[in-house]
Copies of this chain bind each other. A is one copy, B any other.
Amino acid sequence: MNTASLVFQTDFGTGDGAVSAMYGVANSIDPTLRIFDLTHDIPQYNVWEASYRLIQTVQFWPAGTVFVSVVDPGVGSDRKSVAVKTKTGHIIITPDNGTVTHVHRWLGITEAHLINEMKTRLPHSERSHTFHGRDVYAYVGAKIASGQLSFEQTGPVHPQEDLVMLPVAKAFREKDTIHGQIDVLDVRFGSLWTNVPLDLFAELDIPYGQRVEVEIRNDTRAVYQNFLVYARSFADANVGESLVYVNSLHNMAVAINQGSFAHAYNIGTGSTWKIQLRKAPKLVYE
């Protein structure tokens, strides 16, 4: 019995029938398939965030799980479609547009195959050129998850070095300051998730309860500067107090306990949003 789950991620939202049509295609291929969602609320065309949400979740699913991620600004262009396998044994079906950037960097990719969109697709869907999520990706994902198509049979081997990758900024330490970037938000809570790994931050040797000087810049503009407590968890800050903490991916994050840091200071994400962290000078109150 096959128990490989199929997990869908898109930027389609769930307000119309698009995602359900994908579910229908998968169920038509195998009415016993286990199908789940990652999210369908990736901001439209935001490949970076699609890539990030994969690294946030893939590793918590069993090896063999098949992820179908469709954030596809290039639908109908000559962008490729690929099936990739990670070192952890997870499979991702996606347009080759950078969606596997984080998975490649943090989990590692062992093998990639090109998908022939004209051949391996929902029968009789040739007249439709704008919904590869339904006609190609859900179809191929369900074929693989159900065991009707092996990963290796999806198409010719695609050299890993040819996979499209988005530029990824690496955080670094310069003397007593760590330079990083705001990668993504914890959407509902408005916390900032940076690219600064705990291990790098640990070099600053700041114990829980001590203060961290946090500076945030957007391009050339200073957006925020303050001394925040380094808290083990939200409960170690007062309600409404800002804090630095380690997020669930073991990267450094900034939040307001029970508030939204992103809303409070109008903070965004991406390569222009820089953050600096350093040990705060000791405050002496006399």
What is A's interface to B at a CB cutoff of 8 Å? Answer: 3, 5, 7, 11-21, 23-25, 27-28, 31-32, 34-41, 44-45, 53-54, 56-62, 65, 73-77, 79, 127-131, 134-135, 184-189, 198, 231-236, 239, 245-248, 250, 258
Contacts and interface: CB of A to CB of B under 8 A. Distances in A.
Decide if the interface of chain A is mainly helix, strand, loop or mixed. loop
Contacts of A184: 16
A131 to B, nearest CB: 4
Contact of A17 (B23, B31, B53): B53
B27 A76 contact: no
B233 A130 contact: yes
- Kindly report how many copies of this chain are found in the complex they form together: 3
27 contacts: A3-B31, A11-B188, A12-B188, A14-B39, A15-B41, A15-B187, A16-B39, A16-B56, A17-B38, A17-B54, A20-B36, A21-B56, A21-B248, A24-B58, A27-B62, A27-B65, A28-B60, A28-B61, A73-B258, A75-B234, A76-B234, A77-B235, A79-B235, A130-B233, A130-B247, A131-B248, A135-B248
B28 A62 contact: yes
Contacts of A62: 24, 27-28, 31
Contacts of A233: 75-77, 129-130
Nearest to A61: B24
A233 B17 CA distance: 20
B5 A53 contact: no
Contact of A127 (B35, B58, B246): B246
